[in-house]
Structure 1
Amino acid sequence: MGTKTWRQLTVWLHVITSVGWMGQALALFTLLAISRASEDGEIRVAATSMAHEIDSLLLAPLANASAFTGFMLAAATAWGFTRHWWVLAKFAITLVQLYAGIFLLSGALQDSVVAARAGDPAPVALVAGTALMASALAFQAWLSVAKPWGKVRSGAKLPTAPAWVFVAAVLAPLADITVGLFLGYPLPALSLLVLIGQLVRRRLGLVSGKDG
């Protein structure tokens, strides 16, 4: 398969993992809303525990894969990260979502499970946060379709990376998800290495005036 096919596969993987990420965010919102609305302590514990498991086993790996493939499409194609407003907006939103998911949401979900066992409902902020995450993903989907606001800056068109870069963009997150399932927690190590490698490669290519 050539570069075009593997680039299309990277786009396909980015789309399905992004949709999956949004779906799991909605699942968390639903479960946490149930926890908050229910007066039954067992239902609260079950709902918050399920939300925590979904976050660890589904949402986090899908979020990592979605972010990685999106970053790779920016780093390996003419779109770049800062040439178009819609790409820059998606990039900024994704960084905020990753920070919120890793450093805020996961810990808050663990705390909510403990609180539910003590008889407390899920915090309002946590319910609102999952709704905001799903809404931000929906907005990013609109940005991808509409591509609004034009260019941030003009300049020479960036080159598209060769096929092997997109092969790595497809296989790395799949490998990370598989390893994460065995370990029981997400570990996007290979994806991170591939992304860093492509960023360095693109930078060196721009400095030398060529890519590929």
Structure 2
Amino acid sequence: MKLKVHQKNWLLSFHIVSASIWFGTAFCSLALAYYYQNWANGNELYAINAARNLMGELIIVPSAVSSLVSGLFLCSFTVWGFFKHRWVIAKQILTMMLIIIGSVWLGPWTKKATSISATERLQVLQNPTYVSIRDAVIVGGAVQTLVLVLIIVISVLKPWGRRKTSL
């Protein structure tokens, strides 16, 4: 079953909005993590960690999953297909990698940083575990944000063209 043009446009709009929310929130979370590395107030430090954790759980995860699912629907119900175009395959692989990395590492690290800062407040800046997690989240968040930019560029440019044979 193929979607009608207006149905495809609604689904594509939902897909773009989901991806935009994911990118925007990931970028804001990265900016908070980078900009607020050293605080003079432990309550503010904890608040930033708690906000980043909530952003991940309440915005990044749902928007990433919505982006993935709507992308899979677009592949299923449009002429793009799952394996006809190299750029679609690249987007699928990169999106799934980001969701796995976010679920396995970035989300749990952010939750751990929030937990540590909740109890230690400002002293957390002397805690090597916290500092290590903070630095890993900054690097991981930067990589995630850059890969999201790459996915957006791939979506717009649609490089690599169609595969010679479809699976």
- 1:99 corresponds in structure 2 to 100
What is the identity percentage for the equivalent residue pairs of Structure 1 and Structure 2? 23
Letter in 1 for 2:81: G
Aligned partners of 2:87 and 2:154 also within 8 Å: yes
- 1:51 corresponds in structure 2 to 52
DSSP 3-state at the match of 2:13: helix
- 1:90 corresponds in structure 2 to 91
Equivalents in 1 of 2:140, 2:75: separation in Å? 27
Equivalents in 1 of 2:116, 2:34: separation in Å? 15
How far residue 53 of structure 1 moved from its aligned partner, in angstroms, is 0.7
Equivalents in 2 of 1:155, 1:41: separation in Å? 56
Does residue 127 of the first structure (1) align with residue 130 of the second (2)? no
- 1:141 corresponds in structure 2 to 152
Equivalents in 2 of 1:93, 1:45: separation in Å? 32
- 1:153 corresponds in structure 2 to 164
**1:192-211 to 2 correspondence within 5 Å?**
none
Aligned partners of 2:83 and 2:166 also within 8 Å: no
- 2:31 corresponds in structure 1 to 30
DSSP 3-state at the match of 1:71: helix
The gaps in structure 2 that reach 5 residues or longer are: 126-130
Using the size of structure 2 for normalisation, the TM-score is: 0.85
DSSP 3-state at the match of 2:145: helix
The gaps in structure 1 that reach 5 residues or longer are: 157-212
- 1:40 corresponds in structure 2 to 41
Equivalents in 1 of 2:85, 2:79: separation in Å? 10
> Bigger CA drift: 116-125 or 90-99?
116-125
Equivalents in 1 of 2:95, 2:40: separation in Å? 35
Equivalents in 1 of 2:104, 2:158: separation in Å? 30
Q: CA RMSD in A?
A: 1.8
User: Aligned residue pairs: how many?
Assistant: 155
Equivalents in 2 of 1:135, 1:152: separation in Å? 26
How far residue 38 of structure 1 moved from its aligned partner, in angstroms, is 2.6
